[in-house]
Structure 1
Amino acid sequence: MSRIGKKPVDIPSGVTANVSGQTIEVKGAKVTRSFTASDDVSVAVEDNTIVITPRGTSKRARQQWGMSRTMIQNLVTGVTTGFKKELEINGVGYRAQIQGNTLKLALGYSHDVDFAIPEGITVTCPKQTQIVVEGTDEQLVGQVAANIREWRAPEPYKGKGIKYKDEFIFRKEGKKK
């Protein structure tokens, strides 16, 4: 039995959920998001909760049960509070700034890196060495943050590069004379 799948998804006030077939549509104050569940699970709205149940005892049905519940929970969380990833830039001369719909990164290359911000994502730079990625889709927020980090991943000797705010960089000792 799926421990995650057994829990119903609570619908907070101000949020509406509609189920038509296998498609779940969650509507919040500003955003509407939807998810299509696989045929291995059934989805129903009861009172102020969304209940997901498997349609069999096969391994695939049990896998889809927990995954579908998590995806629906992410829809509800995205519509109410949204998702946020914070990045920090470490290194002399490394900085970031927003210009229109582009994130300009100075990362020690011979040229500045221009990163186009995709639709549905908000990127802000409270400081030159801090980047905040926000949005309603958890997968897209994480992917955009990973793509930004990929331009200069932190290195273990000096710790220079772009890292997540809560990430620990395992430091190595340099050469000895």
Structure 2
Amino acid sequence: MTTNYSRTIPIPDSIFVSLVDHCLIVKGKLGKLHCQLNKYICVRFDNSNNIIVYTTKFKHVNHKALVGTISSLINGMFIGVRLGFFKKLQLVGIGYRAAIKKGNVISLIVGLSHPVNYIIPVGVNAQCVNQTEIILNSANKQLIGQVAADLRAIKPPEPFKGKGIRFSNEIVRHKDAKKR
């Protein structure tokens, strides 16, 4: 038995959306994003400026979940090209500092024997407010999350003193030191 499962997503005014070869393209004031659609997911446009994401084939259980996932990704793309996303990272520790070199490279000094250079991918803008704070912004939610996670993975916060690279809203749980 096959039944349709669909979600309707309104298109904001300042955004242009097109569908080319099962790839959804969203253009806005902050850039252009692409989303490759699954072969079981169908997208169509209606007259009242909406996108309808639907599936008609339920060969697997996850097709209904794919509709929800794709509609969530499309909503994220709409927010990204209209408003953008940002992540704020803090470097906590004595002597920990960051600087942006030319060529879109972040140089991190985080208690290792050498400075760590991280190349920022195209589509992400980075700036250092001061030596211990990095702000990343982008239209692509997935890309900015990946860059922030990569930077945090260089020196994650340790649980005893809390030194390391952390997100600004992250709470680090501290452990008690060994008692004699």
1:145–1:173 CA distance, 2 compared to 1 (3 A): same
Percent identity, please: 32
Cα offsets for 1:12-63 (capped at 9, x unmatched): 1211112245222111124121212112121112222211111223413212
Contact 1:40 1:60 in 2 (8 A): no
- Cα drift, residue 98 of structure 1: 0.8
1:166 is aligned to 169
2:149 matches 1:146: yes
1:78 is aligned to 80
What's the Cα RMSD here? 1.6
2:24 is aligned to 24
Contact 1:154 1:162 in 2 (8 A): yes
User: Helix, strand or coil for the counterpart of 1:8?
Assistant: strand
Contact 1:85 1:134 in 2 (8 A): yes
Contact 1:85 1:164 in 2 (8 A): yes
Question: For structure 2, which runs of at least 5 residues remain unmatched after alignment?
Answer: none
- Cα drift, residue 126 of structure 1: 0.8
* CA distance, structure 1, for counterparts of residue 16 and residue 95 of structure 2: 47
2:48 matches 1:53: no
Cα offsets for 1:66-124 (capped at 9, x unmatched): 11111211221111111211111100010111111111111011221111111111111
Runs of 4+ in 1 over 3 A off after TM superposition: none
Question: For structure 1, which runs of at least 5 residues remain unmatched after alignment?
Answer: none
1:95 is aligned to 97
Picking from 99, 112, 117, the partner of 2:115 is: 112
* CA distance, structure 1, for counterparts of residue 43 and residue 13 of structure 2: 20
One-letter amino acid of the structure 2 residue matched with residue 52 of structure 1: V
2:136 matches 1:133: yes
